[in-house]
Amino acid sequence: MSLKLANLSLPKLTLNPKPPSKTALDKLDHVILVTPDTIKTSVWKTVTYGTLLKQMYEKADKKNAKLALSSHLSNRNLTGLSLGVVQKNRSTFKNLTQMGELCKNAVDAKAEHIGLLLVGFSPDTHKELSEILISASLAASFQLWKKKSKKPTKKKFKSIELFSAPEAINVAQLKAEASANNMARWLSALPPNYLNSKNYVALVEKLAKQKKWNYKFHNILALEKLGAEAFLAVAQANPHEDAGIVHLQYCPPGTTASDAPDLALVGKGICFDTGGTNLKPANYMLGMQGDMGGSAVALSNFYALSQLKVNKRIDCWLAITENHIDAHAYKPNDVVTAINGTSIEVIHSDAEGRMALADTLSLVSKTKPKLIMDFATLTGAAVYSVTDRYSCVFTNRPQLHNDLIQHGVNTGERVWPFPQDDDYDSSLESKVADTLQCSTENGGDHIMAARFLNKFVDDKSAWIHMDLSAAERKGGLAHIPTDHTGFGVRYTTRLILEGSIFEKLAK
């Protein structure tokens, strides 16, 4: 099966500083109107179709956080109309969720040309909600991979126009973020016979050429020379020798590839996870093509940040393999040694993600990044502890805990930090090797996995590990309507663009 990268082009987005004229509204298929829960009645006199909109607003249940009403304009086109009422001081997550619901209305009505209008807000709130509504509308109609004989009846938005648009909106950032999130979702949802190791690596190489990123692929032979036995243990049951570790580099002007990176993005890319020798039961194996979700998030963040020409030296590392069952497959009690010399006693072949990451993080550490961020759909324990609404974070700089939580609140991609004190290591003591791969005691596997990974990270680099419990959620999350959420793209892109994390780490 060959694979072509999805068309990541977004609908045409227009920011019109003027309020909409009647002609402009009449041409649209759907208008999304957003108002505060209290509004001066005089405002309606200044808006086209003000009388109709005012009537609709008055009928709306102002306490209901959800979509209030949907109707249509009294024109020949019967332009659809969705109204959302926003309460004061509501969280970004809730605002994203509501804007997503409003956009879903337009998608369900098969609208192609939509208008966005916010009325009655203070300038700051107007800007904030405009950006949220744009993000929701860019995410709403993107379609994931399908191979159906019948063409989908769902339509994509062709154009989005924001009326009365505030000046300071950073369109480039919103677009880069949206394309990156779309890419992460698209990759994660691909069937595993399409996105196998070979096709995934080829796809990234092609993208690197297109975007002029430095590209290096550590193939099986190269990894054997490096002594990457932990990664190779996972890859050794693959049907083909096409697994490996991809290394991408982005160098802004004034930097070179040999400079230590400001940021290394790292991702677990298990294209399909059977569980290996400790085979997964059928219902747990279903959907395991999404086990490369961490690498999709790392790559998509790299894509967005380089697209925005951020002034940081950034590397991206993708640990790409499959986890198969085969006579050669690695098994419990095998002992392997990672690149950094740490020997590992295997406990469970389904804990392959931490094995692939162990060698990847060892390689990353050699390049001495200021900050390492890794992304992985790593443990079931992460989902048990925070459900699929949040993702778990771990860091070797615990003074960042509050900032990491707050950044999740600000962006609407919510995370919760967990401890990783070194006394947890006593649960990883092996009789024959430096460490166990997993604890044989019950509980806290997300913490034990973080403790394990910690052994391959040089403490001179700050390190944030995101266990992506929110990578997949039935019905989507916040403004993202699909089961694959691309969680981690909005969070990380914004974290790096804001840049205050680097100042905090420098202190």
Shortest Å, Cβ 274 to Zn ion: 8
Give the DSSP H or E segment for 26: helix 22-26
CB 295 within 8 A of CB 267: yes
Q: Is the CB of residue 54 less than 8 Å from the CB of residue 85?
A: no
Rounded Cα distance, 179 and 198, in Å: 24
Shortest Cβ contact with Zn ion: which residue?
A: 350
The active-site residue, picked from 354, 414, 451, 455, is 354
Q: How far, in Å, CA of 64 to CA of 436, rounded?
A: 51
- CB atoms under 10 Å from CB of 500, counted, come to 10
Cα–Cα distance for residue pair 76/26, rounded to 1 Å: 8
The residue among 64, 8, 68, 101 whose CA lies nearest residue 479 is 101
Distance in Å, CB of 237 to Zn ion, minimum: 13
Q: Distance from first CA to last CA of the chain, Å, rounded?
A: 50
Give the nearer residue to Zn ion in terms of CB position, either 380 or 419. Answer: 380
- Pick the closest to residue 391 from 271, 489, 502 (CA basis): 489
Q: Minimum distance between the CB of residue 350 and Zn ion, rounded to whole angstroms?
A: 4
Cβ–Cβ under 8 Å, residues 290 and 471: yes
Dist CA 374 CA 193 (whole Å) = 25
Identity (one letter) of the amino acid at 242?
D
Q: How is residue 372 written in tokens?
A: 């390492």
Catalytic residue among 27, 155, 206, 280: 280
With respect to Zn ion, which residue has the nearer C-beta, 277 or 365? 277
Smallest distance, Zn ion to C-beta of residue 463, A: 22
d(CA 348, CA 439): 10
Who contacts 453 (Cβ-Cβ below 8 Å, separation ≥6)? 354, 357, 358, 361, 374, 465
Nearer to Zn ion, 400 or 468 (CB): 468
Q: Which is nearer to Zn ion, 204 or 271 (CB)?
A: 271
C-beta of 234 vs 305, nearer to Zn ion: 234
Is the CB of residue 224 less than 8 Å from the CB of residue 182? no
Q: Confirm if 181 and 300 have CB atoms less than 8 A apart.
A: yes
Is residue 17 within 8 A of residue 164, CB to CB? The reply is yes
280 in catalytic set: yes
Least distance in angstroms from the C-beta of 470 to Zn ion: 18
Spell out the long-range contacts of 51-57 with Cβ–Cβ below 8 A and sequence spacing 24 or more.
53/81, 53/83, 53/119, 56/81, 56/83, 57/83, 57/85
Between 104 and 484, name the residue whose CB sits nearer to Zn ion. Answer: 484
Q: How far is the CB of 15 from Zn ion (least distance, A)?
A: 45
Specify the residue, 379 or 411, whose C-beta has the smaller distance to Zn ion: 379
Find, among 264, 442, 289, the residue nearest to 360 by Cα: 264
What is the smallest separation between the CB atom of 289 and Zn ion, expressed in angstroms?
A: 12
What is the nearest approach in angstroms of Zn ion to the Cβ of residue 291? 7
Read off the DSSP letter of residue 388.
G
Residue 244 or 353: which CB sits closer to Zn ion? Answer: 353
The contact set with Zn ion (CB under 5 A) reads 273, 350, 352
109-143 as b/e, with b when 16 or more CB fall inside 10 Å? bebebbbbbbbbbeeebbbbbbbbbbbbbbbbbbe
Active site residues: 280, 354
